[in-house]
Amino acid sequence: MTAGHPPSPWQDQVYELLKAGGITQFAYVPDAGHKRLIERAIADNEVHAVSLTTEEEGVGLLAGADLGGRRGVLLIQSSGVGNCANLLSLIALGRFPFLALVSMRGDFGEGNPWQYPAGRAVEPVLQAMGVDTVRVDRAEDVAGVVAAAITQAFQGNRPTAVLLTQRLLGAKAF
């Protein structure tokens, strides 16, 4: 999200889609790109918003949610995907459903050179661990992509990550 601009309506659509898809566990590391989703989850007494110390904790939390008959989503920034690489083997070998929304850094309009290496590694790392990826650049595409990802992850049993690009979120101003 570009500094000083309010969240666009797609964030609320995504939240409603997640809830309609049975998502009751929202695992997150605080991040400006997911700010609206995190705020909504914290304020919603029907879901559990779990702030993580590190991103890989979310992978275990989602596996545990599934074992307890619940569905969850991992909200992370692209730089945290590398932290999850080893634990994503739990998803692959345990055949747990997995859905992640990844706010991208290190792509379109990025002003922080430290974000580029991790940003470029996101898709290869996720795909190497058996997680399907889909990029979203336009607000009008977000709801359809997230709805499809929910179906893919939980009915198709395909681990899925939706990459919310900087064309969508806006580059952070420095």
Tell me which residue range forms the domain holding 88. Answer: 9-169
How many angstroms separate the CA atoms of 63 and 35, rounded?
Answer: 24
Instruction: Evaluate if residue 85 carries a pLDDT over 80.
Output: yes
> Tell me, what's the pLDDT at 149?
98
pLDDT tens by residue, 110-141:
888 989 999 999 999 999 999 999 999 999 99
How many angstroms separate the CA atoms of 2 and 146, rounded?
Answer: 22
Question: Could you tell me which of 17, 95, 85, 96 has the C-alpha nearest to residue 61?
Answer: 96
Scanning 80-161, the segments in alpha helix (DSSP H) are 81-84, 88-94, 116-128, 139-154
Tell me whether residue 111 is in a domain: yes
Q: Which residues is 134 bridged to in the sheet?
A: 162
Domain at 125, CATH number: 3.40.50.970
pLDDT tens by residue, 3-57:
444 556 899 999 999 999 999 999 999 999 999 999 999 999 999 999 999 999 9
How many angstroms separate the CA atoms of 81 and 123, rounded?
Answer: 9
Tell me whether residue 153 is in a domain: yes
Instruction: Evaluate if residue 1 carries a pLDDT over 50.
Output: no
User: pTM for the whole thing?
Assistant: 0.93
CB atoms inside a 10 Å sphere around CB 29: 20
Tell me whether residue 44 is in a domain: yes
Domain count, the chain: 1
